[in-house]
Amino acid sequence: MSTEATTGASSRVETRAAEITAEERYFLASQWQLMWRKFKRHRLAVFSTTLLALLYFFAVTYEFWVPYGRLTKHEDFLSAPPSRLHFFDHEGRFHGPFVYRLEGEIDFKTFTRVYTEDPSQIFRILFFQKGEPYRFWGLFSLDIHFFVPEEGGVVFLWGTDSLGRDLFSRTWAGARVSLSVGLVGVLISFILGCLLGGISGYFGGTTDLLIQRVIEFVIIVPTIPLWMALSAAVPPGWSPVKIYFSITIILSIIGWAGLARVVRGKLLELRESDFVIAAKVAGSTDMQIIVEHLLPGFMSYLIVHLTLAIPNMILGETALSFLGLGIRAPAVSWGTLLKDAQNVRSVAVQPWMLIPGLLVIVTVILFNFIGDGLRDAADPYK
């Protein structure tokens, strides 16, 4: 009986010890650890982060995942609808994923191409097989694709455009441009915003007033007309890489203002706080105060702001390229792909041309969800 009592007591002690350590861990956790804990609780944000990471992964390594090159034309399959994947043939035999032979003919009543499946011939989808050669990142020559149809067959998961180019391959090629424009653009506005916002908040006085007016100006001016005007000035003869960077810079010319405002506001707020004064009294240098005390203080807010600024950049790029003022052919972005869907009639006949737009929407929503989660986590002491 006495032993029973002892074990009971000891287990109670053990659980209390566990509780204390959990509590202690909470108090000892750094700001970033606390933020991570809070962020993890936002299920939607965590899910969105995973999905977005996957999206970026596919965009970075797209050449491997798609069956065709972004410029490869299939002259016999102009404006073909998305291929139907089958697993069982009409006799019910299992073949794994396969497509039937596609036959296209012109309907002379409507002058559109009509495609029918010919069930007599099947082409299996092969995985990790040799296909069209490509240069991965422009560095190594490879020809292994995640999936390719059997010799002689074609597979267009998302259909083809009016020149017979595979939309699935092109959309993922476009993802690389569209998704990276946001990141590069945000990086540039991050540097500009931190610099100008920092100067504004640190020096104060006339400099502050001046920079504040510039920020106000940038926020007040309607962005799209300004973007259009600036990007129309990009010389048409420039190389795709040059055009890409000029468009990104144009997008971030507007983007920095909001960030600079956040930096300045936070700097002013934190500059007067007790812990900064304490650090000063303790003999820290200005640089130490900025790097060790101020920067961690508003870094979290900056990250939130950046996360929410990326989708704006992506939308901006899409809009500009859609108008033909942004990324230009032969470079591919989601905007240039949507440019082909500009005409209502073409959308009515080939609704699959809107798929890149769907990806834009998904990406922007994902970024917004992550931003929401980060915003809740940004101030873990609340």
Partner 1 sequence: MRRHASSGAQPNLSRAFSHRLGSHEFQAPLLERGAFTTLHHLWQNLPTRGNMTNYIVQRLLYAAVTFWLLSVVVFLIIQLPPGDFLTSYVARLEQQGDVIDRAEIEALRQEYGLDASSVEQYFRWFGRFLQGEMGRSFEWNQPVAKLLKERLPYTILLSLITLFFTYVIAVPIGIYVATHQYGFNDYLFSVIGFAGLATPNFMLALILMFLFFKYFGISVGGLFSSEYALAPWSLAKVWDLFIHLWVPIIVIGTAGTAGIIRVMRGTLLDELSKQYVITARAKGVAEGKLLFRYPVRMAINPIVSTIGWQLPRIVSGETIVAIVLSLPTTGPLLFRALISQDMFLAGSIVMFLGVLTLIGTFLSDILLIVVDPRIRFERKA
Residues with Cβ within 8 Å of residue 71, at least 6 apart in sequence: 165, 330
Q: How many degrees, rounded to 5, is the angle at CA 131 between CA 129 and CA 136?
A: 100
Helix (H, G, I), strand (E, B) or coil at 310: helix
Q: Does 217 bind partner 1 (CB under 8 A)?
A: yes
Interacting residue with partner 1 among 9, 18, 53, 219 (CB under 8 A): 219
Beta bridge partners of 279: none
Closer by beta carbon to partner 1, 157 or else 353: 353
Interacting residue with partner 1 among 120, 205, 344, 381 (CB under 8 A): 344
Candidates 92, 115, 135, 52; CA nearest to 310 is: 52
Q: Does 229 bind partner 1 (CB under 8 A)?
A: yes
**Distance in angstroms (rounded) separating the CA atoms of residues 97 and 85:** 6
Packing angle of the helix pair 167-203, 240-271 (nearest 10 deg): 40
Q: Does 319 bind partner 1 (CB under 8 A)?
A: yes
175 and 62 Cβ atoms separated by less than 8 Å: yes
Interacting residue with partner 1 among 255, 311, 373, 380 (CB under 8 A): 311
**Distance in angstroms (rounded) separating the CA atoms of residues 119 and 90:** 8
Q: Does 342 bind partner 1 (CB under 8 A)?
A: yes
Region binding partner 1 by CB under 8 A among candidate stretches 57-65, 82-90, 106-114, 297-305: 297-305
Beta bridge partners of 148: 126
- Indicate the burial class of 274 (C-beta count within 10 angstroms; 0-12, 13-18, 19 or more): exposed
Tokens encoding 12? 């109670």
Site string for partner 1, 245-274 (x = CB under 8 A): -------------xx-xx-xxx-xx-----
Closer by beta carbon to partner 1, 138 or else 237: 237
How many other C-beta atoms lie within 10 A of the C-beta of residue 257?
Answer: 22
Q: Does 322 bind partner 1 (CB under 8 A)?
A: yes
Interacting residue with partner 1 among 31, 121, 207, 223 (CB under 8 A): 223
Region binding partner 1 by CB under 8 A among candidate stretches 83-91, 149-157, 182-190, 216-224: 216-224
Interacting residue with partner 1 among 98, 168, 172, 301 (CB under 8 A): 301
Residues with Cβ within 8 Å of residue 375, at least 6 apart in sequence: 304
Interacting residue with partner 1 among 230, 247, 327, 370 (CB under 8 A): 230
Which residues form the interface with partner 1 (CB under 8 A)?
212-214, 216-217, 219-226, 228-230, 232-233, 235, 258-259, 261-262, 264-266, 268-269, 301, 304-305, 308, 311, 315, 318-319, 322-325, 338, 341-342, 344-345, 347-348, 351, 354, 357, 360-362, 364-365, 368-369, 375
